[in-house]
Every structure is written in C-alpha cells, then in structure tokens.
Amino acid sequence: MTASTETSGDDRDERLAEVLDRLINDSQSASSAGLLDKAVRENPDLESDIRGLYATAMIAADVALLQSDEVSRMIAGETPDEGPAPASTSPVGLMIGEYELREEIGRGGMGVVYRAYQQSLDRTVALKMIPNAAFAASHDLARLRAEAMAAARLSHPNIVPVYEVGEYDGQPWFSMQFVEGTTLSTRLADGPMTAEDAVRLLLPVVRAIDSAHQAGVLHRDLKPSNILIKKAGEPFVTDFGLAKRVPLADDSLVISGGSDEANLTQSGAILGTPSWMSPEQAAGQTDAIDVTSDIYSLGAILFAMLTGRPPFQAASPFDTLLMVMEQDPPAIRVLNSKVDVDLEMVVLKCLQKPRDLRYSSARELVEDLTAWLNREPVSARRSTIMNVMSRLFRESHHVTILRNWGLLWMLHSMVLLMLCLLTNACQFAGVTSRLPYVGLWVVGLGLWAAIFWNLRSRSGPITSIERQVAHVWGGSMVASSMLFAVESVMNEPVLKFSPVLGCIAGIVFLAKAGMLSGRFYIHAIAMFATSIVMAAIQRQGTPNFSITLFGVVSGLAFFLPGLKYYRQQKRA
C-alpha cells in the first residue's frame, strides 16, 4: 500500500502497524540496509511516525540485548553467574584438534570459554567457542570471528594473545593464553583501590590499548570484567568481541571484514555495556566511535577503581544509557576524599561528553598518569585562553537533539516575525485597546506553542534536555504575556514595556548556550543589545518600529541555527 491511497484514520494506523512490523522483522536479515528509507519513500505521509517509532523499537531491542549476561566471564577461573553448562550437553572431555576441553571457566553472551590442554606443547590454554553454532545467531558467530581476528593481529605483553584459530564441526573457535587469577570486576567488589595502586594497575592496560590503537584496532567494550589480573598482579586486556579495525594514522590500513563486520556496526546499534560505554556508543552513533571512545571507557574504569562504582548506574540498562548520554558523573572527591585534584582532573578529562575534549590518544593518557605517579604537573589541568574561549563557544553533547528542532525553529522564526508585524500594524492603525494585543501574544503565541510541541512529539522520543529547553521557552512566553498585565496594573500604555522582550529572549538564549551550544551566547548578546535599541526608539514616541526590530532580530536568531540543523538532519 502506498501513501497515495486514500485512507481513514483507522486505515492509517493499520498501515503504520503493518509497515513497522515488516521493518522490525526484516531488520534482522543480512540485507536490511536501506529498509527504513525504502519504507519512508513508499509511505511519505507516515515518515515522522515511521522514523520515530522505528527508532524507539530499535532502542528497545538493543536494551533487551544489553540485559543479557555480561560477555564472557573471562579466562581467569571466575565462577560464571549462569553456572556451568548442564552435564548432558557439556563438551568437557571433547577433543578439538589437539586441544582437550577440561573445564568450563566462563560463559557470556558471545561464547563460552574452556580451560583446555594442548597436547603438542604440553600447556594449558583457554579455548573460546560457541556451542551449538548451528543454532547461534549470525551476529554471534561474526563477533567470535571478529574477536579472534582482532586479537590475533595484536602483540602486546598486556593483551591476552591468540594462539590458533580454527573450526570444529561447523563451530568457530580460537585458543589463547590461559590467565590464572581474577578479574578487575571481582577485585572491585571488595571496594575502591588506593589512588596509586589504581593508577599503577591501569597504566599497563592503557599502554596495551594504545598499542591496539596503533595497530588500527578499537576495543569498544572495555570494562572491569574484560581486564584479567594474574596472581602476581599483572593486568591483561581480553575480549575483543566488539573490536573494530580502523585506518591507521598514515591511512595504510584497509578496513575489511565484509558483510559480517557491516552487520556488527549498523548505524543505530548500541555497542558495549551501559555503565562503561561512551555517550556516542550509548546514542548508537557507530560512525562517531573512535579512539576517544575507548579512552572514555578507560576513564570510567579508573573512576570505578577510585570510588568502587561506575560513573553511571541506574535501576535498568535503559536508564543507565540515558544517564550516560545526558548527565555528568558525580564528583570523585565527594565519593572518595582521598583522591587528589590532579587525578580527578585526569579522570574527568577522559569522561568528557564531547569527544574532542577528551585525550586525543591513549598515549596522552599514559603520559598524564605517569606524570601523576611522578608528582609532576598533568596536562589535564593546563589550559590557555584560546582553549577556554573555544570551549565557551563550542557545541555541547546535547546539540544532536537540535536536528529535531531545525525545521520547527525555522517555522517559529516566521511565526514570530509575522506576530511582530501584525502588532506593529495594529499600533500604526491607532489601536490602543490592550485586548487585540493580548489576543495576538497570549492566545496566538500559546496556540502556536501547542502546535510546535505536537509537531515535535510526532518526530520521535523526547529527551530530558528537550524538556528543559521547552520549559525555558515556555517560561519566556509566560513572562512576555505578563508584560501586558504589568502595564495594566501600572496604568501604562500598551507595549510600553516591549523593550523587555529583548531581555527575556536574551535570557532564553543564554540558557540554550549553557545547555546546547556556546554559539547561542552571541544570540543572547544580540537580544540584550536589541532591548536597549528598542528602549531608545521608544523614547522617540509611538507608534514606532521597535517591535518589528525585535521580530527581525529574534527571527534571525531562530532561523539561522534552525536552517543549519535542518540541513544536518537532511544529510544524516
């Protein structure tokens, strides 16, 4: 059925349900790319509903996956939460090539790890595989292969090395070093570590990740349970199940992996574990994931080592995702007063929401952690006037929500300008009664606000930051409407206090600058300056064009960013 078919409201809902059902079912297939765009092209009248509801459905599906058990309880002999596999189906005792499976030591969402004995070299290894691979999801098999390929091409003393990759009876497997000890996750169950112990333990891990980055591999799932600690205290990084190969600095590495890798990194997929993932991972922005995403996770791990808890934790994975995307972490020194300011600054630099405010490489983090151990100044505390100014006017991590507001802000600018022109027309027509102006500004603007919010609601889920912006905007409209009441009480002529509109609008843009983008400081200054010019024009008597001036300046303040973010949305 196409959009050109004449349908009733019930038929429209039925068609929408049919389209969504087909999209959700087909999205699991290997050839799902472009399905959403195709559905929108076939049903243009349902575009906003399809995109909003489909995004919600995909987030719900991703969160459901995140609630499954943590990936692979590792190679360290830690008892898995799920317990060992039933004896009737356990492959313990099975010979896979020259490996004898002797004990299940870890089980998670992307495979099972066994302690195995390699006869030819007379050594104990860890062997990871997916039992019953014939019934496993294709993305699980792809992730196991991706993990083996990524880890096998890495060589660092603190990365668990892969020895051999193979396939047994249709089941992919790989063997790796057996690390006897525990995980950082188990260690942190006993409480926070001292600052010096935490840094000394994490430094080899950061060096290992830097080595992986230099080899063109992102981990993308760094967390305490993926850091093994030998009995002697030496840490190892493992579980590259979500690893991705990226171009090297000299662009010498060719990205490969075929359809399996593409399926693992579809736009909108949530990759990682909520408490430890970066904001861009939590938002499903797979194209934005880079080395700084791993650095964020390293900062989250160090935060937990110092405080005994992750930066963000909530009752459900979905609530945790929202906290990662929208909130700032609690102050480390409030949770642990023994941590000094310099180390807190290092952690907070890792945990910055905007990627360009984090360390640009793991090597920089290594240098700062080393400097802190040597009681030397850390770069995280150094800042120049240019850095401060650039940060002041930069966009915040919330700015992506403005893509949902671009067209609406353009429409709002036109409504605002038309409202001011009508007001000026009434003024020049000699209308002195307050009622027509109240009708325009209170009833007319209130009606438009209701239409505006309804249009935004139809475009998809509304975030908490959008609700905050809406409250600021709503407050400004109430304040603007109250000017008529204040004029009446003070027995002043209508529009006498109209220059205050510039001050109210300036405050709105000041709030937006703090929440969304520092560029709105410029808009705020323009609105404050407009209020002064309006006041000067008012002194020359009425009628005058001060209210039209307000309409032009405020209209441009909404239209220009609206056009920018509308174009971004169209390109996305």
Separation CA 124–CA 109 (nearest Å) = 24
Model confidence at 458: pLDDT above 50: yes
H/E element holding 321? Answer: helix 317-326
What is the model's pLDDT at position 413? 94
Phi, psi (degrees; rounded to nearest 5) at 339: -80, 130
What is the model's pLDDT at position 109? 57
Model confidence at 65: pLDDT above 80: no
Q: What's the pLDDT band for 49 if we cut at 50, 70, 90?
A: low
Look up residue 357 and give its DSSP letter.
G
> Looking at the annotation, which residues are catalytic?
221
Separation CA 205–CA 200 (nearest Å) = 10
Helices (H) and strands (E) in the chain, counts: 21, 11
CATH number of 181-387: 1.10.510.10
What is the model's pLDDT at position 405? 86
Tokens 């090539």 found at: 97
What is the model's pLDDT at position 220? 84
**What 3-state class would DSSP assign to 461?**
coil
Model confidence at 536: pLDDT above 70: yes
Query: Residue 345: which of 362, 328, 368 has the closest Cα?
Result: 368
**What is the residue type of 4?**
S
Separation CA 80–CA 72 (nearest Å) = 8
Model confidence at 531: pLDDT above 90: yes
Q: What is the largest distance, in Å, between two alpha-carbon atoms of the chain?
A: 101
Q: What is the pTM of this model?
A: 0.62
**What is the residue type of 491?**
N
Separation CA 452–CA 404 (nearest Å) = 12
Query: Residue 13: which of 60, 57, 53 has the closest Cα?
Result: 53
Contact yes or no for 244/289 (Cβ under 8 A):
yes
What is the model's pLDDT at position 530? 97
Say if residue 29 is exposed, middle or buried (CB neighbours under 10 Å; 0-12, 13-18, 19+).
exposed
Phi, psi (degrees; rounded to nearest 5) at 229: -125, 115
What is the model's pLDDT at position 438? 92
Separation CA 333–CA 325 (nearest Å) = 22
Q: What's the pLDDT band for 217 if we cut at 50, 70, 90?
A: confident
- Domain at 95-177, CATH homologous superfamily: Phosphorylase Kinase; domain 1 (3.30.200.20)
List pLDDT tens digits, range 110-134: 678 899 999 899 999 999 887 655 4
Model confidence at 524: pLDDT above 90: yes
List pLDDT tens digits, range 149-176: 666 678 889 998 888 888 887 777 888 8
Contact yes or no for 531/501 (Cβ under 8 A):
yes
What is the model's pLDDT at position 78? 42
Separation CA 243–CA 387 (nearest Å) = 33
Strand order in the sheet with 181-183: 181-183, 227-230, 235-237
Model confidence at 239: pLDDT above 90: no
List pLDDT tens digits, range 282-302: 877 777 788 999 999 999 999
Model confidence at 449: pLDDT above 50: yes
Tokens 């030397």 found at: 376
Contact yes or no for 204/234 (Cβ under 8 A):
yes
Separation CA 51–CA 404 (nearest Å) = 12
Model confidence at 397: pLDDT above 70: no
Query: Hey, what's the torsion of the CAs at 324, 55, 60, 299, to 10 degrees?
Result: -20
Phi, psi (degrees; rounded to nearest 5) at 309: -150, 155
